[in-house]
Amino acid sequence: MLIPDRLVTVRRYLVPEMAEDDLGALTEAEIPAYVRPLGRNFQLVVPENLRERALEILPPVKPDTDPDDDFEACPNCDSRLRALGDLDGVLLLAALVAAAWMAWNGHPGPGALLFAAGALAIRVLASRRAAWECGNCRARFSVRELDAARAERERHSID
């Protein structure tokens, strides 16, 4: 028995009719593609091993924004990225409150050390966790990954 590859999303649409052109392009290239519902939206899915080929065939996604508007673009499909919520401010405030409480109770040195350690941990973790999510393919990226992708794009645009 042949086990099919896992299906992955390459595009998302508000209505299934919007997927017809992309579905036709993939079918013409002999890439099995399917449109399936996802909540109130629809997604175009392909086998995981054909994802890169499908993205090469599909036309680029046109952003629904002013071309002069600067926004983060997905390294996979050039769609708009949205920022994920973070708790850095809340965690920093918690570290500050804990440090102030320790200082109030006669331990200013350990309180300052706790605050510094908390601020450093927040800074290190913030650069590693996913901070952006693609509105189209739902891939998630850290700030570091986006910076690397941006540098790679600039290097290729110069060549």
- Could you report the per-residue pLDDT of 131-153, keeping only the tens digit for each? 778 877 778 887 778 888 778 77
78, part of any domain: no
Could you tell me which residues come within 8 angstroms of residue 44 by beta carbon, excluding any fewer than 6 positions away? 9, 10, 11, 12, 13, 19, 22, 23, 26, 33, 34, 35
For the stretch 43-88, pLDDT in tens is 888 998 999 999 899 887 754 444 434 457 777 777 777 777 666 6
pLDDT value for 3:
54
**Whole-angstrom Cα distance, residue 146 to residue 130?**
10
Q: Where residue 35 sits, what CATH number does that domain have?
A: 3.30.70.1530
Q: Which domain, by its residues, includes 96? A: 88-128
pTM of the model: 0.41
- How many folded domains does the chain comprise? 2
pLDDT value for 115:
83
83, part of any domain: no
User: 1 and 55: one domain?
Assistant: yes
1 pLDDT above the threshold of 60: no
115, part of any domain: yes
**How is residue 142 written in tokens?**
């850290």
User: 55 and 92: one domain?
Assistant: no
User: 12 and 53: one domain?
Assistant: yes
Report yes or no: 78 and 60 within 8 Å, Cβ to Cβ. yes
80, part of any domain: no
69, part of any domain: no
User: 95 and 54: one domain?
Assistant: no
**DSSP state, residue 6:** P
User: 94 and 55: one domain?
Assistant: no
pLDDT value for 130:
66
107 pLDDT above the threshold of 80: yes
User: 106 and 53: one domain?
Assistant: no
